[in-house]
Amino acid sequence: MAPETVIPSTATEVQSTPHAIPTEFKHPLDPLTPDEIAAVTFTVRSHVASKTEIKAIKFITCSLLPAPKKAVLAYLGISLTPGGKPEAPIPIVRKAEVDFLDIVNGHSYNVLLALGDGKWSIQAFERLSEGVQPQISVEELVACEKVVKNDPRVQQLAKEVGVLPEQIFCDGWAIGYDDRFPHTRRVQQAFVFARYSEHENLYAHPLDFIPVIDSNTDKVIHIDFPYHYKPSDEKGALTAQSAKFPELSEDSFAVANRPRIPPPKKSFDFLPDLMEKNEGGYKPRDDIKPLHIVQPEGVSFKMNGHELEWQNWKMHISFTHREGIALSTVTYNDNGEIRPILYRLSLAEMVVPYGAPEYPHPRKFAFDSGEYGMGTMANELSLGCDCVGQIHYLPGSYVAHDGSAVIVKNVICIHEEDSGVLWKHTDYRPGGRGQTVRRRRLVVSMVCTLANYEYIWNYQFYQDGTIELEARLTGILQVYVAQDGEKSKYGTLVAPNVNAQYHQHLFSVRVDPMIDGLNNTVIESDVLPIPEAETGSAENFAGNGFLTQETVLKKEAGRPYDWEKERRWRIVNPARQHYSSGKDVGYVVAMKGGITPMFARKDGWALKRAAFCNYPIWVCRDVEDEQGSRMWPAGKFVPQTRDSPADAIDSWVKGEQNIENEDILVYLTIGTTHIPRPEDWPVMPVEHLSITLKPQSFFTMNPSMDVPGTRDPRSVAAFSQDSSNNESQSNCHCD
């Protein structure tokens, strides 16, 4: 496969055959190398050719099948209990997992392999149930546009609104939910746009029809004409009789009962040279002075392959086709004691449901992780642009249809940042002293492009023992064309005839905790006024008293948030208590305003498939089998599901299993509801969401008290250097 057949911004090179004999891995959780991917797929192809009747296949995924937790922890010398000794190491067999499609009949297969004596061998070969679809590949997304551009009917429809064949572009999406098409057929929907000149912002010119393609036959099988709202109707009545989807046998344009709508012509570019050419009066700002990030003695972290050490932190960093970044075996050196905190942390799933109820927009709810893969859609990062300062990059690789390895050279960025003040105090009395300590953080980051949207993922570690996962949302709004004078209650006209529909971004973050050992507990804590103690009472005379009320979660559950009680959750190890507070050692979860419900109806299509959105936190037992741990809250195989699958989180959590002092998993749901603004157009300024894990009764005291205060000798007064400024600097007391 040639490199140009994949999306250019996401791939560096392609490797088709192994270059080396497999050697002993550095770390049991290291991702498959390009050599290993090529060797694994060669083994699968050989098996298919010699032992099955399958005529032609295309690979969809190929990834490491992680070793059992206890085996990994024993290998690394990490104890399973507080203060205990590690278990004796046992041999670890390196394993891989492959999903592929039979191109002829569309059947899906899952294969497990093991490495022994330098060769990969098949351990399990399973044909999946009828209609089960693995994720959509990058090549299928690229092919979707080619199929649409070359379809005669699409070309004719585009011509009718003034768009030439060479000006047709589209984004392929999973079909979402549309039971008019059999679930056995692998289909995509295509959002079509016009691009009137090279590199122009095509999203400024949406077309008024949506083709549906078969990804196995590479043919357009249907064309939908969305309903609109009558421009002359003050109540905004639909042009069609109802929002219901028409039958495939019906003429959807006739049912839509509206005229053809030409795409808006105005350019809304984001590339500087095109803005200068097409936007009258455009001039880049010239009052921005350089700002440099300098580390004259180099970085403070160390890398050993995929393993990172930074100050007291140590962790393994992996790349997967589905999650992108996955962090494992996160530990903290607490005055010589290596204390485990997390076994694994990653984005497990996300969904973007749109709020327009008229056909066919209800099927727009993309599972960007499960349907496409954050890793396969990751960008190659640019030094000094995506990441600034002294940077270390890690590569990533995933499989192409032909079994070769697609390599993204600089996919994960690791660097340090100044993050303001860590802690400070000044004795305000005459002659009193003060101390200021600046905060530094380690950032492990990645950028993914999902068609129009960009997601920036930052895993951030702090000197006070805090862990933060930050998501930054940017890119271009998904838009649809509006008629002249048309108004919608479900979107914003960000530009004339350009409708950006209301939508949400909802993320499921998988936390596999290991607080001082594998067996942990979750405690729910509410803040409330002293119960039954009115103002004037003996217990609460002034009426100001409040306290926390804690509940140990004993059975697997999804739990709601309570704003009035400022509810929070703490992951603890009941086998170890803090010397002073008496509380179990633990980490508390903070979601910084990121808790939001899905606004779709409980019995609606979107929530049926994304049950993880029902609660901000889910807690269940981990169960390891031959395919590893419980992982995916919306199911392992997401495309074209009609309901929540049997391997989704609502099936795991039935309220029956004990989760107190067990090996548990915690799934956290955060999100944002996007009511688009004109200021989000043509490219959206970043919006921030984050989850923070903060130590609570885990450390004896503030673990960052040993961070030295340092004065930056390069800092100077901006406009003067008079004696008052110099005096201010001399009293900094940050040494």
In a domain? residue 45: yes
* For range 573-588, the mean pLDDT: 98
Q: Is residue 8 scored above 50 in pLDDT?
A: no
Evaluate whether 6 touches 399 at the Cβ level (below 8 Å). no
In a domain? residue 182: no
For residue 454, the one-letter residue type is E
What is the pLDDT, as a whole number, of residue 711?
Answer: 84
Alpha carbon 433 to chain centroid distance? 46
Tokens of residue 367, six digits: 């599972």
Share above pLDDT 90 across residues of the chain, in percent, rounded to a whole number: 89
- Domain containing residue 622: CATH number: 2.70.98.20
What is the pLDDT, as a whole number, of residue 171?
Answer: 98
What is the pLDDT, as a whole number, of residue 593?
Answer: 78
Q: What is the pTM of this model?
A: 0.95
Name the helix (H) or strand (E) containing 95.
strand 95-102
Residue 720: CB partners within 8 Å, gap ≥ 6? Answer: none
Tell the burial category of 70 from Cβ atoms under 10 Å away from its Cβ (0-12, 13-18, 19+): middle
Residue where one domain finishes, among candidates 127, 159, 179: 127
Residue 37's pLDDT band (cuts 50, 70, 90): very high
Q: Is residue 298 scored above 80 in pLDDT?
A: yes
What is the pLDDT, as a whole number, of residue 3?
Answer: 42
Measured distance CA(375)–CA(319) in Å, rounded = 7
Residue 570: CB partners within 8 Å, gap ≥ 6? Answer: 522, 523, 525, 586, 587, 588, 589, 696
For the beta carbon of residue 549, count every other beta carbon within 10 angstroms. Answer: 11
Residue where one domain finishes, among candidates 98, 127, 156: 127
In a domain? residue 549: yes
Evaluate whether 75 touches 89 at the Cβ level (below 8 Å). yes
Question: Could you read off the pLDDT of 582-622 as tens digits, one per residue?
Answer: 999 999 999 877 999 999 999 999 999 999 999 999 999 99
Q: Is residue 15 scored above 90 in pLDDT?
A: no
Name residue 723's beta-bridge partners. none
For the beta carbon of residue 695, count every other beta carbon within 10 angstroms. Answer: 20
In a domain? residue 511: yes
Residue where one domain finishes, among candidates 92, 127, 162: 127
Query: What string of DSSP letters covers 260-293?
Result: --PPP------SHHHHHHHSTT------------
Residue 20's pLDDT band (cuts 50, 70, 90): low
**663 catalytic residue (yes or no):** no
In a domain? residue 547: yes
In a domain? residue 473: yes
Measured distance CA(471)–CA(474) in Å, rounded = 10
* For range 357-378, the mean pLDDT: 97
**455 catalytic residue (yes or no):** no
Backbone angles phi, psi at 99, to 5 degrees: -115, 135
Which one from 35, 208, 368, 516 is the annotated catalytic residue? 368
Residue 10's pLDDT band (cuts 50, 70, 90): low
Evaluate whether 487 touches 465 at the Cβ level (below 8 Å). no
In a domain? residue 314: yes
- Domain residues for the domain of 33 are 13-127
Tokens of residue 665, six digits: 């998993």
What is the pLDDT, as a whole number, of residue 2?
Answer: 45
Residue 17's pLDDT band (cuts 50, 70, 90): low
* Pick from 1-10, 61-70, 140-149, 471-480: least confident: 1-10
Tokens of residue 115, six digits: 């490495």
Question: Could you read off the pLDDT of 396-432 as tens digits, one per residue?
Answer: 999 999 999 999 999 999 999 999 999 999 999 999 9
R_g over Cα of the chain: 28
Q: Is residue 98 scored above 90 in pLDDT?
A: yes
* For range 283-310, the mean pLDDT: 95
Which one from 203, 453, 587, 667 is the annotated catalytic residue? 453
Question: Could you read off the pLDDT of 132-152 as tens digits, one per residue?
Answer: 999 999 999 999 999 999 999
Measured distance CA(455)–CA(347) in Å, rounded = 12
What is the pLDDT, as a whole number, of residue 233?
Answer: 76
**Cα–Cα distances in angstroms (integers) from residue 309 to residues 300, 333, 511, 686, in the given order:** 9, 10, 21, 30
Q: Is residue 216 scored above 70 in pLDDT?
A: yes
In a domain? residue 257: no
Evaluate whether 444 touches 414 at the Cβ level (below 8 Å). yes
Tell whether the torsion through CA atoms of 207, 213, 218 and 221 is positive or negative. Answer: negative
Residue 235's pLDDT band (cuts 50, 70, 90): confident
Question: Could you read off the pLDDT of 156-202 as tens digits, one per residue?
Answer: 999 999 999 999 999 999 999 999 999 899 999 999 999 999 999 99
Q: Which of 167, 215, 659, 151 is nearest to 401 (CA)?
A: 215
Tell the burial category of 219 from Cβ atoms under 10 Å away from its Cβ (0-12, 13-18, 19+): exposed
Q: Is residue 119 scored above 60 in pLDDT?
A: yes
Name residue 251's beta-bridge partners. none
Residue 732's pLDDT band (cuts 50, 70, 90): low
Evaluate whether 423 touches 397 at the Cβ level (below 8 Å). no
Edge to edge, the sheet with strand 57-65 lists 57-65, 95-102, 108-116, 119-127
Q: Is residue 280 scored above 90 in pLDDT?
A: no
What is the pLDDT, as a whole number, of residue 236?
Answer: 80
Task: Give CA torsion, residues 575, 577, 582, 585, to 10 deg.
Answer: -110
Instruction: Sort strands 405-426 and 219-224 into parallel, antiparallel or unpaired.
Output: unpaired
- Domain containing residue 76: CATH number: 3.10.450.40
For residue 674, the one-letter residue type is H
Domain count, the chain: 2
What is the pLDDT, as a whole number, of residue 722?
Answer: 61
Question: Could you read off the pLDDT of 673-728 as tens digits, one per residue?
Answer: 999 999 999 999 999 999 999 999 999 999 999 999 988 888 888 997 665 555 45
